[in-house]
Amino acid sequence: MIMPLLKGLQITFSHMFKKPVTLQYPTERPAIKPNFRGLHVLNVSHDRAKCVACYLCPTVCPAKCITVEAGEDAKHDKFAAKYEIDMLRCIFCGYCVEACPVDAIRMSETFELANYTRADFTFTKERLLEKK
Amino acid sequence: MVNLTVDNKQVTVPKDATIYDAAKSAGIKIPILCHDKKLHPFGGCRMCLVEVEQMKGRLIPACTTPVTEGMIVRTSNDEIVKARKLVLELLLLKHPIDCPVCDAAGDCDLQNLTYEYKVNCNQFVDEKFNHEIDYVNPIIERDMNRCILCGKCARICDEIVSYGAYSVINRGLEAKIGTEFDGPLNCEFCGSCVSVCPVGALISRPFKFQARWWALSKTKTVCSYCGTGCQLTLGCKDNKVLTTVYDEDQGFHNGQLCHRGRFAYQFVNSDKRLTTPLIRKNGKLVESSWDEALALVTERLTQAKAAPASLAALSTAHLTNEELFLFEKLFRGTLGTDNIDHSAGFAHAALTEGLKASFGTVASPSEILDIQKSNLLLVIKTDAYETHPVIGFEINLGVKRKGVDLRIVSDKRGKLGKLPGAQTTVHTPGSELLLLNALAKVIIDAGLADAAAPGLSELKAALAEVSLEKAAAATGVSADEIAKLAKDYAAAEKALILLPIGLGYPGHNAALAEACANLAILTGKYGKEGTGLLVMGEKNNSQGAADLGIHPKASGLNGSAIIDACISGQVKTLFVAGENPVVSYPNRAKVEKALEAVDFLVVADLFLTETAQLADVVLPAVSFAEKSGTFTSVGRKLQQVKQAVKPVGLAKSDFEILNTLNAALGGQKYLNQSELFAEIAANVPAYAGLSQAALGDEGKLLPVAPSAKLVPVAAQAAAPVAGKLALVTGSALYHSGTMSRFGEGPMLVCPNAYAELSAADAKVLKIEDGDAITVKSDTGSVSVTAKVGYRLPQGVVFAPYHFGEGSINAVTDGKAVTWVTVGK
């Protein structure tokens, strides 16, 4: 009867000498693991997004949160005239990154995505572009 | 029949079948890249290699090897897979593999086979091609770096389209598909090459980067331009028609389409579409609600009901059968007027009056499939190709594959005359009737006429005055040539006459149809396979409109009489459903005057056309892609139209508009359009016993029971006017009616009104190709662009009628030939 109680107290007692688990967020920042799937980033190369608007990410997306519209640039090449992710629908599965044939999209360490209005959760191409 | 074994399955196939056909009939799929069921076997890609027990030691191409009795075929084993993989590796060696940016991805044979055969690496290394990409062409983009040299584009252009825009040029590694002198592509832009390209070397520029193939929802329906009745598949996304998808198993034409069908679908989602009803207030058309607009129309039609003679209605033959039937019910039934017509009866009188008199029915006694089964084709006007290009493909195939003897009677030369063995009889403009009567006369005089032909004695009497020499002088065709043509026609075992009709061909009237029918009846060439007379209605549902009687039956006014009656003040209320008389009816000034004179004009259309701009109420209607129903095509084929996208804005189908009006005016209210089809089936004999559901994807051929009778036709040549040129109107290859102006393709290729002159006349008048010229007649004058060519005889000018700006109906007045002066 008394033994389980003592065992419990022993665990409690031992924690008094360990480092606290709680992170004093936001003053303290968590260490983010390399395979973390945070906010999407559109990779940039030669001053333009690498995305060629192949439509594989909207095709593979299980949450159907990606909208792409292709355009034709001055050199007749295909580029994403519109690239939008609805973060309210996104389930951060990372399939888009896996499907991308040109390494145009990756997932960053950014996880602080809270916002005030629904519209703010629509990430346009402008907001997704890699900031260098 | 030949028996063979394919993958342990017993197969029996005709003796002209190949191993590929045999496997296909047994449900075994052999991979192909260069083979197409419509084309002659080629055997270029070596993907279809199979093993034949009797020919062991090497692999055999299935697509070019004919079957033999007792053949034992294996379509797949390790050796075959290895060989196919090698073929793919070699193709991928030069192929850029730019699938992410290639529009063909998802519908690419090379991509699919690479995936199927798991070709993940390549044992060879080589540089890619560095051909220049043709971005200049507005319709077809050619990226020869992606080409796998299957040659299908060159072969389809040669074998079926008979244009020959492409050919393999250069040798060895340098070989590529090129155009003449490797210059820019300048062809008919039918897009057949794009449709058969197994990779993305040829892509449709209007559809470029619009959507991925797999994201398109595909709806099988029927084209809404000409009367051929081509089936097509609309590729739609986000409620927009984005492209036409090729399906080689569709229709008699095996998915082949013309320029209009393939590249002119954009009118459905055009920015110019009407999205809300408009009412004229203080002289200006302002947006209104449906309730307000329909209440106004109902009020005015109720007033008109008291005096039905003051009410008239014009309909286009673009509507579905169900809508046309309701149109007739509303105006003839509920409102009691007989003043109804479609596309002006004078354009379709060949069907409604001509065939009615000659065959006792308003439908042609032949079908499109008869073209290839015939021995001799007599085409009235080479324009049959321009008005119905896919029927033109059938003629091409008939001549080139089946050895059909092609004879053309025309006032100008054209593409059909360039087919092997084709003979064009060029007559003076407007003398078709004289020529046909002369042919009948020769047949009678030579004793080649069927003595039992009904009405022979009357015809003989009527033709007694006709002399071959006089006819030769009037038509400009030598007596020998007329006699030879008549005798050849009569001697052919099976002969078929093709007669295109439409608003551009006022001379192709009831009399001409009767004269054509006379030839067929005289020689007994009707009612049998490959014979008869095929009257080719201009619009997708011309035949349906004729079947359903959308024309005055008793004392009513026809299209041209309605216009006159509007001016005289007899007709006060005019309802126009989808028709654009201002551009398409003869004498534009008169039509405009008539429409301005009429008290109350209602126009239901897709666009604010030249006619709609004059209306008091404009109702936004929907296109074929936004509604369901049925169309009846040239060869009496009844086919289903299926809704692919939702109506644009507040637009409503003509069914909804007419149904609401009919109910408001005291007629019956229908729940949906299929209810009307049941009523058509119950009331129209040819449609008896049919239901929409039973039509399926294939459609049904409507029965016809011709009761032939020879009808004497009086012929008079258009008397030449000294110093003037003969203007004949018609269709341009890239356009159909006035609606194709709202499609992207036709406006990129042929945007402006033009008049075609012979080189000889142009030289005399000092006019060069591309000059702005003025065409002037007694009726009026118009400024158009000059086109100088060699196909017109001297003294003849040709102008298509589709254009609003520079519309040729400003100078014409409903006669077969208009005498004009042309100057800069």
Kindly list the structural domains of chain A, giving each domain's residue range(s) and its CATH number in brackets, ordered by start: 31-128 (3.30.70.3270)
Rg (CA), chain A: 22
| B46, B76, B106 - which closes a domain | B76
Who has greater pLDDT, B555 or B376?
B376
Give which of B497, B383, B347 is closest to B809, Cα–Cα: B347
pLDDT digits (tens, 9 = 90+) for B786-802: 999 899 999 999 999 99
Is the pLDDT confidence value at B330 over 90? yes
Sheet architecture: strand order including A122-123: A66-72, A78-86, A122-123
Considering the domain architecture, whether residues B175 and B47 belong to the same structural domain is answered as no
> Are both B212 and B353 inside the same structural domain?
no
Task: Answer yes or no: do B371 and B443 share one domain.
Answer: yes
DSSP string, B196-244: H-SSSSEEETTTTTT--GGG-EEEEEE-SSSTT--EEEEEEETTEEEEE
Contacts of residue A5, Cβ cutoff 8 Å, sequence gap at least 6: none
Same domain, B374 and B505: yes
Q: Are strands B754-758 and B781-789 parallel, antiparallel or unpaired?
A: parallel
What is the average per-residue pLDDT within B676-691?
Answer: 93
Is B530 contained in some domain? yes
Kindly tell me the sign of the dihedral angle through the C-alpha atoms of B467, B473, B479, B482: negative
Q: B494: alpha, beta or left, given left = phi > 0 and alpha = psi -120 to 50? A: beta
**Nearest Cα residue in chain B from A57:** B100
Contact flag A77-B101 (C-beta cutoff 8 Å): yes
The answer to whether A72 contacts B210, with C-beta atoms less than 8 Å apart, is no
Minimal CA–CA distance to B720: which of B817, B600, B649, B808? B817
Place of tokens 């011709």: B706
CB atoms within 10 A of CB B570: 16
Which residues of chain A form beta strands (DSSP E)?
A: 40-42, 44-45, 48-49, 66-72, 78-86, 105-107, 122-123
Q: A84 forms bridges with which residues in the sheet?
A: A67
Specify the pLDDT at position B125: 93
Same domain, B182 and B252: yes
CA distance B447 to B441: 10
What is the rounded average pLDDT of the residues B352-370? 93
Contact B214, B171 (CB under 8 A): no
The pLDDT-based confidence of B495 (bands split at 50, 70, 90) is very high
Residue B376 lies in a domain: yes
- Tell me the per-residue pLDDT of B42-86, one tens digit each, with 9 for 90 and over: 999 999 999 999 998 899 999 999 999 999 999 999 999 999 999
Of B148, B149, B168, give the one whose Cα is nearest residue B158: B168
Check residue B107 and give left, alpha or beta (phi > 0: left; psi -120 to 50: alpha).
Answer: alpha
Q: Do B508 and B449 share a structural domain?
A: yes
Is the same domain home to B151 and B66? Answer: no
Residue to mutate among A76, A84, A96, A103, with most B CBs inside 10 A, is: A76
Q: How far apart are CA B180 and CA B169, in angstroms?
A: 9
Cα–Cα distance between B337 and B561 in angstroms, integer? Answer: 14
Give the alpha-carbon dihedral of B301, B307, B308, B313, to 10 degrees: -50
Q: Would you state the pLDDT for residue B715?
A: 83
| Residue B809 domain-assigned (yes or no) | yes
Cβ-contact A51, A40 below 8 angstroms: no
Which of A59, A78, A105 best tests the B interface by mutation, with the highest count of B CBs <10 A? A78
Phi, psi for B157 (deg, rounded to 5): -65, -30
- pLDDT tens readout for residues B152-180: 999 999 999 999 999 999 998 889 999 99
Closest CA to B653 of B587, B720, B598, B578: B578
- ipTM for the complex? 0.86
Structure tokens at B697: 């994807």
Distance CA B737, CA B607 (A): 14
Of B145, B42, B816, B1, the C-alpha closest to B428 is B816
CA distance B334 to B669: 12
Q: Which domain holds residue B62?
A: 2-76
List residues bridging with A45 in a β-sheet.
Answer: A48
How confident is the model at residue A73, as a pLDDT?
93
B338 lies in some domain = no
Average pLDDT over residues B97-102: 93
Q: Is A54 annotated as a binding residue?
A: yes
**Same domain for B49 and B177:** no
For chain B, the residue count is 824
User: Sign of the CA dihedral B205, B208, B210, B216?
Assistant: positive
Backbone phi, psi, residue B716, to 5°: -140, 135
The number of helices, as runs of H, and strands, as runs of E, in chain B is 27, 33
Chain B CB within 8 Å of residue A54 CB: yes
Q: Do A55 and B215 touch (CB under 8 A)?
A: yes
Instruction: Check CB contact under 8 Å for A78 and B101.
Output: yes
Q: Which of B492, B518, B538 is the last residue of a domain?
A: B538
Is the pLDDT confidence value at B292 over 90?
yes
pTM score over 0.90: yes
Q: Which residues of chain A have pLDDT under 70?
A: none
The mean of the pLDDT values for chain B is 93
pLDDT band at B814 (very low <50, low <70, confident <90, very high): confident
B544: in domain = no
**Residue A85, min C-alpha distance to chain B (Å):** 18
- pLDDT at position A4, please? 93
**Tell me, what amino acid is at B695?**
L
Contacts of B110 (CB under 8 A, 6+ apart): B33, B88, B91, B92, B95, B148, B198, B199
Per-residue confidence (pLDDT) for residue A86, from 0 to 100: 96
In a domain, B33, yes or no: yes
Chain B contact set for A49 (CB, 8 A): none
Does residue B347 surpass a pLDDT of 90?
no
pLDDT value, residue B566? 95
Percent of chain B at pLDDT exceeding 90: 91
Interface contact A59-B214, CB threshold 8 A: yes
| pLDDT tens track for B65-74 | 999 999 999 9
Helix (H, G, I), strand (E, B) or coil at B804: coil
How many domains does one find in chain B?
A: 4
Do residue B389 and residue B526 come from a single domain? yes
The pLDDT of residue B92: 95
Upstream peptide bond of A26 is cis (omega within 30 degrees of 0): yes
Helix (H, G, I), strand (E, B) or coil at A8: helix
Of B269, B302, B318, which residue constitutes the final position of a domain?
A: B269
The answer to whether position B520 is within a domain reads: yes
Q: Which CATH number do you get for residue B510?
A: 3.40.228.10
pLDDT at B173 (0 to 100): 87
Same domain, B55 and B149: no
Is A53 at the interface with chain B, CB within 8 A?
Answer: yes
A76 touches chain B (CB under 8 A): yes
Has residue B518 been placed in a domain? yes
Alpha-carbon B756 to chain mean position: 22
Residue of A nearest to B136 (CA): A76
